[in-house]
Amino acid sequence: MAGHAGKLALIAALVAATAAQPAASAQPAAGAQSATAAQPATGAQSATAAQPGAHARGWVAAWAASPVVGSAVPWNSCPAGEGLADQTVRNVVFTSAGGRFARVRLTNAFGTKPLKVGRTSVAVQAAGDAAVPGTLRAVTFGGRREVTVPVGREVFSDPVRLDVAALSTLLVSAYLPEATGPLTNHPFTAQGNYLAAGDRTGALSGGFADTPCWMVVDGVDVAPAGRVKGAVVAFGDSITDTASTTGNANRRWPDFLARRLDAVPGRTLSVVNAGLGGNRLIADRDEPYWGVAGVTRVQRDVLSQTGVEAVIMLLAVNDIGYSASAADLIAGHREVIRQARAAGVAVYGGTVLPFKGSFIWTGEREATWRELNDWIRTSGEFDGVVDFAAATAVPGDPATLDPAYDSGDHLHPNDAGTEAMANAVDLAMLLGRR
């Protein structure tokens, strides 16, 4: 208790001192496509914020979303391709860990020009776009409400005094006063978000319409209870991002894992979802909304998360669907292992789920799947293995997704399937309690 009280006192002191400190430079978004040189941000990241990849004292990532280039998505109404102007986006985010202070991360990782954010706020969600009365907080950056995020950069806010419960939902709102152009976003969320004309960051509710994507905001850190020692990042594609789970219900497999970890007595971990629908491990997709290759984005989306201790990797099925070879996919996994080990982060290999009967299945691709999964299970190159494939397959038919876990396309698991995936994670392995 004394250590926890001391940490809270430290955070409180940082809050009080923030306005008196000069703003530090915004941090580069590792893996961003922009090659623009770093510029100082107006009202940018305060001196108390974490450096990318560092264990920032007193903070841990509680939620994050992997950003992509703003572009039109044919079947999606997200406006990020055209961007916003004189509008407020209200992002709805599910936090895996709680604490008495929070800070938010704004992103311009894939922007084409500096991003001016006029106002930002954070609140506890009551329902829909409505905040719990008394929880709405203005967010500052170096003591100022307005911030300009340079191209290819991300910035953390100053600490905000807010009681955040583990496994609760926050509303993080950002007002864009000027035309942004294509806006960095996360397009596939399994979560309804909100959009309004004008500055509605201070509104408890009302005036908002639905929007499907997260925009501008790509991370929330908390100053957690002393038992949360760090974060584990789930690194994957659509099966990690959203799968075919129930919307607005937080039934992704990392959400189920967060519930399991929160229930553990003693020291535990927060969970960050770095899934990205349609993403490939070893190659970019032609369509920008699927994101850059996993071997590229791992630095930003995984290793730069605050307090990251471990990563669970499940990223290859889209590559198999493009007929990548097992040898190339093994090389891609080894590259992620190399980067993680260089950062002092444990890496756990997840076997690729069965997909026989899906639109990507062929006999040749099944052979690749078998070879890759055999290597993940037996190579000894990971710190441990999570056998997602075995946990979700038909008994006696390892290549086929169990109908009880099948969303209907024989590829993506349903809610029961994602829960089975989370239950396949050995918490003793993850927490080092063997």
Q: What is the pLDDT of residues 268-309, one digit of tens each?
A: 999 999 999 999 999 999 999 999 999 999 999 999 999 999
Report pLDDT for 21.
Answer: 35
Whether the pLDDT of residue 51 is over 80: the answer is no
Written as one string, the DSSP assignment of 85-122 is: SSEEEEEEEE-SS-EEEEEEEEE-TT-SS-EEE-EEEE
What is the share, in percent, of the chain residues with pLDDT greater than 90?
A: 85
Identify which of 217, 244, 245 has the alpha carbon closest to the alpha carbon of residue 141: 217
- The pLDDT confidence band at residue 54, using thresholds 50, 70 and 90, is very low
Return d(Cα 125, Cα 41) in angstroms, integer. 30
Return d(Cα 23, Cα 158) in angstroms, integer. 10
271 beta partners: 232
Return d(Cα 319, Cα 167) in angstroms, integer. 33
The CATH code of domain 227-431 reads 3.40.50.1110
Report pLDDT for 36.
Answer: 29
- Per-domain residue ranges for the chain? 2-23+39-44+70-220, 227-431
Whether the pLDDT of residue 22 is over 50: the answer is no
Whether the pLDDT of residue 48 is over 90: the answer is no
Summarize pLDDT for 399-419 with one digit per residue, the tens. Answer: 999 999 999 999 999 999 999
Identify which of 226, 225, 232 has the alpha carbon closest to the alpha carbon of residue 255: 232
Whether the pLDDT of residue 319 is over 60: the answer is yes
- The pLDDT confidence band at residue 57, using thresholds 50, 70 and 90, is confident
Report pLDDT for 27.
Answer: 66
Summarize pLDDT for 206-221 with one digit per residue, the tens. Answer: 999 999 999 999 999 9
Q: What integer best gives the mean pLDDT of the chain?
A: 90
401 beta partners: 393
Report pLDDT for 30.
Answer: 55
Summarize pLDDT for 216-264 with one digit per residue, the tens. Answer: 999 999 999 789 999 999 999 999 999 999 999 999 999 999 999 999 9
Return d(Cα 284, Cα 290) in angstroms, integer. 8
Asked if 246 and 415 count as a contact pair (C-beta separation under 8 A), the reply is yes
What is the share, in percent, of the chain residues with pLDDT greater than 70?
A: 87
Asked if 373 and 389 count as a contact pair (C-beta separation under 8 A), the reply is yes
Token output for 17:
């001192």
Asked if 197 and 79 count as a contact pair (C-beta separation under 8 A), the reply is no
Whether the pLDDT of residue 31 is over 90: the answer is no
Whether the pLDDT of residue 358 is over 50: the answer is yes
- The pLDDT confidence band at residue 29, using thresholds 50, 70 and 90, is low
Report pLDDT for 41.
Answer: 39
Token output for 292:
């850059």
DSSP-derived pairing of the beta strands 308-314 and 228-236 = parallel
Return d(Cα 350, Cα 333) in angstroms, integer. 11
Return d(Cα 106, Cα 117) in angstroms, integer. 9
CA dihedral 287, 290, 291, 295 (to 10 degrees): -110
Asked if 297 and 291 count as a contact pair (C-beta separation under 8 A), the reply is yes
The stretch 61-69 carries a mean pLDDT of: 98
The stretch 358-387 carries a mean pLDDT of: 98
Using DSSP, state whether 335 is helix, strand or coil: helix
Token output for 103:
């800070």
Summarize pLDDT for 82-123 with one digit per residue, the tens. Answer: 999 999 999 999 999 999 999 999 999 999 999 999 999 999
The stretch 161-181 carries a mean pLDDT of: 98
Return d(Cα 367, Cα 198) in angstroms, integer. 54
Q: Which region, left, alpha or beta, applies to residue 156 given φ > 0 means left and ψ of -120 to 50 means alpha? A: beta
121 beta partners: 138, 173
The stretch 5-29 carries a mean pLDDT of: 43
Report in angstroms the alpha-carbon separations of 277 from 121, 194, 236, 409: 28, 21, 8, 15
